[in-house]
Structures are given as C-alpha cells and as structure tokens.
Chains A and B, each alone.
Chain A
C-alpha cells in the first residue's frame, strides 16, 4: 500500500535553470556576431565593387623563406563565414550541446569572426592595402610576454590566498632595476636578474604588509603600485633623464633562432625565432602548471588558498607558504618588467601603462590557472597587435575602441556569463590563528 512513493523522484522543471540561461545568452550572442559579420563586414561598403583581400605572409624583419601574398575575394568569403557563425549560433540556441561541442563551437565562431574582421580590414577594390599576418602574430607574442609573466605572478599568489593587485608595480620596479643594473654592469642579463630580484622584493613587501600587518589586500596593491610609480618616476627624472648613457642604455635582447623549427611555414619565424625570455615564459607556464597540480608544493598551495585552517591542522605552515608564493609571484612579474625594458633597450616613466592590471584580468579570465592565463594573455596580446597593425588601414572603427574588446570579454567572464569563474575560497583573506 505504500510502495508507490519509492519510485517518486524529484521532477526537473524545464526552463529557468542556469544552464538554459547561459545557452540562450551564448546562442543569441553568436547570432548577433554573425549578423555583424554579414551586414558590417560582408555587405558593407569596404567590400563592395569586387574588393579583394590581401594578406602578406612573410615577416620582413626576420629571416625565413619568402611566402607569396594570399589574395582572395573579400565579400564571398566573409559572407560564407557569417553564415557559418549564424548557423552555429542557432544550433547553440536550439539544443543543449555537450561541453566539448560547446567549446568547439565557440572556438570556431571566434575564429570566423576574427578572420572576417581581418579580411574586411584588408579589403580594397584596388588591391593596394594589405595586412601582414605574421607581423600581427609577432606583435602578439611581444605584447603577451609581460602579461603572461605578470599573470603567473598573480596565479601563484592568489592560489595560496593572497590577492596580488601589485603586479603593475612589480613589472615597473622590475623594469626599472633591469635598466639601472643592466646599464651599470654593462650586462643585460645581470640586469634581468636584478629585475627578477626587484620584483621578488616588491612581492616580499606585499606579503609582509598583507600577511603580517593584515592590510586589506586590494587597497594595499593599489598603494604599492602608486609607490612603484612614484619612486621609479622620481629616479627616472633625477637620474636617468639627465644621464641616459650611464644609467639607462642597454642593448636590446637578440632573438634565439631554433634551427629547423624556425623554418616552418609562416609560423616558424614567429614562434621559434624570439628572445630567450619568450621561451622561458612558456616554460614557466608549464612548470607552474605541473607544480600546482602534480606536486606537494601545489597541493599545499591550493589547500592554503582554499581552506587555510584545514591545511594548518594537518601541519602545513600556512603563512610561510604564502610568503614564499607571493615572493615567487613577484619574481615572475619582475621578469616581465625586465622583458619590457630589454625589448626596447631602455626604461621610460610609467612604461607598463596598465599592463599589470591587464595581467590581473588575465588571471581571472584564465580562471587562476597557468594555461588559462597564457591563453588570456595571448588573446589580449592579439587584439592589441591587431589594433596596432590595422591602424594604417584607415578603418571606420577607432583602434582604441578595438583594444577594449578583450576587457569587455573579461567583464563578462567575471560576471559569470562565460562559464563559472570561481576564485580560491580564501583569496584575499588573511589567516589568523586561534
């Protein structure tokens, strides 16, 4: 008489769940992107009159085999891509796809959109305008390096529970010390080491004030940034500006060409003919990833960032680990600063110009993971490169507006619209015993 209830399971109510909301948002966004491509790029005036797109394929500044230009009719290609994007958006809207397919779909949409934008920007009825693709990629690498290193600095600190808003200051101070020590010792690499140590020192300052004196970490980070800006600005004016040659004059990095790999078609000169620090940055990303997820250090770091009391009760020294990680993070950011200086050969006042904050955005956009940070930094670097490389093409869109795109994306990411973003639970919370 009572068995009927056993089988009664709670009923899922259709509609209104988080997954559905996200599906609708994503699908609609993709369709809108497709329509922008179709109406703005494909059928706009720029692609009228049988305009063709010319992509240069050879990186002039570096050695490598000459690859002929890539020329194709602009309108049909862009329209075709737009149709693909609209269809994918409609599919996303219509059915709940498995996670894998969602990722693939989103990637294809982003690629099509970017390609269509580039094809549109280099479209010209006379065939005179061109966009050199390897140059875009090369600028992307150059721009992404400080972002990756800064973001790694953020990742190791925040994974252990200390918010690092001072990345900007660490980059700046690292860069300054690189220029100063490097010029004084006539060795760029000694300068780089000085930059790394300077970053670590800034990290130590952050750690002491945040961990020992329990200062609110976001405010503290901002203050440290202002401190770095003030100190380096003052010393730059009083020291370097008047005596450029003895305090601020370095030979920039030279590229290290990896034989064989550097000869790969188009990609080779971009990926395998770069200064040593580029390779180091990629190597560090892998190292931190393996460290965080496969070693004792990583397990403890993550435990301390999620639930410090739990770590403490099993004998992990919470504060010591936090000190170490914040200093390590500062060192990474210091290396990023060294790159900024070593890339051009000298330091200029406020040369970071917000890159530390963009690195912070990369930490969040990359969901506190090293490879995520790498991807985010590459994305930010790419839009930056695209904006600068298309600036000569007289686009109807101001290039400054273009560079804001990734930050809009970050805002959406932080707002939880692009998947769930969750910071380490104890991020920014000081640990007080007892």
Chain B
C-alpha cells in the first residue's frame, strides 16, 4: 500500500502544529519521522489515524483520496497505530483486547463472544508474524515490551498495511528495543510499511530506510540513514548540536553522601535493594546503570524519603533513612523523579506552581501561611526562558505540555534551588537532543560547582557520558563500580549479573580496581552470563512479568503534542 499525505495543515488556536506537510510512505519501507518534542509528529499521525481532522490537506491511499473521521475509517483503509500510551484495557486478557471492536466476525447473532475462536485467531496471527503472545494473559500482568507486541498484533489482526509506531522505544529497555527492531524488519519483509516516530538518532540510523525530518510543524528535509548523527541532529534542532558531553576531569572532594548496608523492600514485600553501600563525593557524578527494575527505583525512593528502608545513608553527616521527604528536601535535595507523570508534576497545576512544589513554604516563594504569588510567577517566567520550555506562558497547566517540555520543568525545579545533592532518575527521558544537550550541560555544571550528583539511567550512553564513576545494579545489589571509560560490552555484562560475587561485599572507592579487573575478561564471562540474559526476558513466552518489570513504566511517556 502506498500512502501519501499532501499539504496537511492543522492549527490549534494560534499555533500551527502542522503546516503544509507532504509525506509519502512506500510499500515495504521503514520510514522514520524524526523531530524534536512538540515538532508536530504525533499531531500528523493522529490526523492520519482519524483522531484529528486536518484544517486542510489530503490523505491519499493507493492513488485514492480518503477522508478519515474516526479511527474506524483509518483501520478500514489499512492503517494501524501503536500509540505511545498503549490503547489496551489493563484488566482484559490479550485475546479480549485483540477482538474488541472487531467482534462481529467472531460472534453469533446475539453478539455472543466466541472466545475459543478469538484465541485461535490471536495464535494464528502471532505465529504468522513471529510475535509470540499468550492470548489468556491479563494485560496488566505483562511487561511493557510484551504489551507493545500485543498492540502490534492488534494492528495486524485488523489487516494493517501501514503501521504507525509513535515513539515506541521510549518505554523500552535496550534489549526490548532490539527485539522491536527485529519485529519491524520482519514486518518489512512481509511487505508492510512502518512509520517510525522518534527523536533518538541512533535508532533512526539503525533501522530507517528513509528519514523525514520535521521541525516546528513543517518538513525541513529528508535524509539517508547513512547520515551522521550530527547531521541529523542539526537538521532536527535547526542549529549545530554537540552530542558529546564536554567535561573536564575533576578531582572529587570529600565524601558527601555515604550509604551503608541499605536495604529496601518493594511494594510486594520483596527485597529490592539488598545491602547496598557506596560513597558519593562532592564534585562527582556517580551514575547508576542497570536494566530497569533492578532496584534503582527503590534506591532513589529510599534516599529521597519516599520509601522506608533500613541501613544508613548520611548526607554530610545527616541521616536520610527514616527522614520524611520534606526533611530531605529541607537539606537541599534536588530530585528529578523517574516518572514525571506520576511523581514529578501535578498536571492541573500551572508550570509556575509546579516549579515551586518543593520550596513553596520557603522564602522567597512563601512563608508560614501565605504564598508570594508574584515571586512564583516571576520564577516561572524566568525558568521558562532559561530552560527553553515551550509553552504559552508560565500559567499554562503542566499537563498540557509535551513530554519533553514537562521533563524540562521537572529538571528546572531540581536545579533552580542550587541543590546540595542532585538525584536525577532518567534526567532526559523523552527529551530531544537539543534539550538533552542543555540538561547534560547543567548537570555537569553542578558537578563543577562541587556538588554531589547521583544519576540513574537505563541509557548507557547517558551514563557513560556524564559519570565520573559508574555503579551497576543487578537484582538489588551493586555488582560493580567502574570508571566511565569502561566499554558498553563490559557494562552490559555487569548489568546482566556478570561478576556479582566479587563486587557485592566491598564497594569502597578502593575496591574499584579489582572489580574492574573482574569484568575485563568478557570471553570467560560471556558463557556464564548468556542464560541469564535469556531468562531476563519473560517477554519471549508472553508470560506475566517477573520481578524485573515495573508496571509504572507504561504511563511514563507523554504525548508528543
């Protein structure tokens, strides 16, 4: 199927989300739509999927002009979409989700559900495209990666010829991303076209056949996948972007945060952080790497007073374990929570209000009884300009921002207070390269100002770029603390549980050397590690998630527009 968009224009109020966009998707190609947060990619795709009506322009399918007033029309025309927020009913089984809206062909005259046929159909389609899913599993029990697979199967069951994937990798671990790419190549081989929306340059270069770049609602050019990341970045952002974090080597100062024997249990009563000890020095960035769900979330929650813990964590001699979040904030913590939608923002509050959530009761924003609204508004306007938050004004509700801009608000709040300790989980989740460059620069500035910084990220590139030392977590333990020039392969091995025995006991700075040595023999390690990697992905069988998969992930990314 050949799909053409001609002169699509859509304005919201005074803002042109799309202006005269032309786009052609050939059969059997993987077409990347590259653009910054809020560039208008999702708006364009929602128009294509019948969720929005364009002000002007045409959608042409195989030479015929079509009008889509609802997703039903788009589905009939052979267009399938995997939304950033999955459109799956969590309490339904996979099979129920897959037949929803399409039950007619399977029901009797009374609309009786034929569950057996539904299961058989699901199995047939999933076998045909090599996308294993268990039809009887409940969606809420599945890892995010498998839920996404269910979404793809859903589109295929409706005979989609063009599949739109809206920022599909935003919620995936690196392994899951690789699996997704394999699936995409398989779909291409089966003659389907894939429209892949993203702002991640390395992914584009890995998978795309053609690349269309959108900036501020307009097509600014197309590129070949052979283009360098730097070329793509400057096309996307509209200026030259430095992709490498510039940072001078710096001698770390005294110990700022000292963690000893920290144990934290997760929501289900399992030990998520198991006897973790480390030191974080002033003027140092310690990066915590690891596959999502190996205790990083609980570690940060324990340090920020959000979760009960045992053991000790002293910030400049003051105990953080057992302290309330407010007490920890009073000590000057700047915190970028992992899930901005859940923990980072009050969506109905304005940007200005969100920016002072951790300091509203302190000068200059307020006192014992009152808020200084002028100070709050001025602070909001200042941060808007400083962090290039794209919004109408500081009075705009935070929930109305695109994901990347929401992230900028959260980061701005943590940094504006000149924190005594900065803890940032996934600091650049969902933000584009331009904003990423800026946020990284600001984090390094904190370090250079002699502040201790703890970074938690599942993006290895981010960890290696920012960190002075890297701690790798696996199943609740720190399995090694290594220097930042450690290769990604070695880090990957550690993340899969590589040299757990050696590293768990002592994690003093002195221990760095032996740990690093232990992982410097990838050949020997590889064999022992491989089965672990396999067992890490219950995804394969579509079975309910093992401990490693937090359900919260699903809601963590926001719409692009």
Q: B-contacting residues of A (Cβ < 8 Å)?
A: 1-6, 8, 10-13, 16-17, 294-300, 302-303, 306-307, 309-316, 425, 433-434
Contacts and interface: CB of A to CB of B under 8 A. Distances in A.
A12 B270 contact: yes
A59 B499 CA distance: 79
Contact of B104 (A2, A296, A313, A314): A296
A303 B113 contact: no
B87 A307 contact: yes
Interface stretch (B68-76, B236-244, B405-413): B68-76
B90 interface: yes
A314 B528 contact: no
Contacts of A1: 499, 501-502, 518, 524, 528
* In the A-B complex, the 8 residue pairs with the closest CB atoms: A314-B101, A315-B72, A5-B500, A296-B111, A310-B87, A10-B270, A296-B103, A17-B269
Given A2-B500, A4-B501, A299-B103, A10 B87 contact: no
B89 A10 contact: no
Given A10-B270, A13-B269, 19 more contacts: A1-B524, A2-B498, A2-B500, A2-B528, A5-B532, A10-B475, A10-B547, A17-B269, A296-B111, A296-B112, A297-B111, A306-B89, A309-B85, A309-B87, A310-B86, A314-B100, A315-B72, A315-B101, A425-B91
A196 B72 CA distance: 35
18 contacts: A2-B498, A4-B501, A5-B501, A6-B497, A8-B475, A10-B547, A12-B269, A295-B112, A296-B103, A296-B111, A296-B113, A299-B99, A299-B103, A306-B89, A311-B100, A313-B81, A315-B102, A425-B91
Which of the listed residues B70, B99, B101, B271 has the most CB atoms from chain A within 10 Å of its own CB?
B101
A96 to B, nearest CB: 13
Contacts of B270: 10-13
A389 B64 CA distance: 76
A300 B100 contact: yes
B63 interface: no
Which of the listed residues B269, B270, B476, B532 has the most CB atoms from chain A within 10 Å of its own CB?
B269
Contact of A313 (B52, B83, B271, B476): B83
Contact of A425 (B75, B87, B90, B113): B90
Contacts of B384: none
Nearest to A5: B500
Interface string B484-505: 0000000000000111111000
A254 to B, nearest CB: 33
B456 interface: no
Contacts of A10: 270-272, 475-476, 547
A4 B502 CA distance: 11
Interface string B35-50: 0000000000000010
Which of the listed residues B89, B474, B498 has the most CB atoms from chain A within 10 Å of its own CB?
B89
A250 to B, nearest CB: 36
A312 B75 CA distance: 12
A264 to B, nearest CB: 33
Chain B interface size, under 10 / 10 to 19 / 20 to 34 / 35 or more: 35 or more
B233 to A, nearest CB: 31
A2 B110 contact: no
B89 A5 contact: no
A243 B102 CA distance: 56
Nearest to A3: B528
A317 to B, nearest CB: 9
A299 to B, nearest CB: 6
Contacts of B23: none
A299 B269 CA distance: 34
A303 B500 contact: no
Interface in B521-539: 524-525, 528-529, 531-532
A11 B271 contact: yes
A316 B101 contact: yes
Nearest to B87: A310
B261 interface: no
Given A10-B272, A296-B111, A313-B83, A2 B547 contact: no
A6 B530 CA distance: 10
Nearest to B265: A13
B194 interface: no
Contacts of B474: 5
Given A13-B270, A295-B113, A313-B83, A2 B501 contact: yes
B476 A315 contact: no
B100 A303 contact: yes
A287 B153 CA distance: 33
Which of the listed residues A17, A296, A300, A433 has the most CB atoms from chain B within 10 Å of its own CB?
A296
B92 interface: yes
A310 B529 contact: no
A49 B269 CA distance: 54
Contacts of B72: 314-315
A16 to B, nearest CB: 6
Given A306-B90, A307-B88, A296 B83 contact: no
A299 B113 contact: yes
Interface in B212-265: 265
B60 interface: no
B162 interface: no
B497 A2 contact: yes
Contacts of A311: 89, 100-101
Contact of A310 (B51, B88, B104, B501): B88
A314 B272 contact: no
B52 to A, nearest CB: 6
Which of the listed residues A13, A309, A310, A425 has the most CB atoms from chain B within 10 Å of its own CB?
A310
A420 B87 CA distance: 25
A264 B91 CA distance: 42
Contacts of A5: 474-475, 479, 497, 500-501, 532
Nearest to B115: A294
B96 interface: yes
A314 B269 contact: no
Contacts of B524: 1
B367 interface: no
B153 to A, nearest CB: 13
A311 B529 CA distance: 42
B107 interface: yes
Which of the listed residues A12, A16, A311, A315 has the most CB atoms from chain B within 10 Å of its own CB?
A315
Contacts of A297: 111
A374 B394 CA distance: 52
B112 A299 contact: no
B201 to A, nearest CB: 29
Contacts of B104: 296
Interface string B54-79: 00000000000000001110010000
Contacts of A312: 71
A300 B107 CA distance: 13
A315 B71 CA distance: 6
Contacts of B272: 10
Which of the listed residues A17, A298, A302, A314 has the most CB atoms from chain B within 10 Å of its own CB?
A314
Contacts of A8: 475, 500
A24 to B, nearest CB: 15
Contacts of B86: 310
Contacts of B96: 299
Contacts of A300: 100-101, 103
B339 to A, nearest CB: 18
B408 to A, nearest CB: 24
B525 to A, nearest CB: 6
A213 B83 CA distance: 28
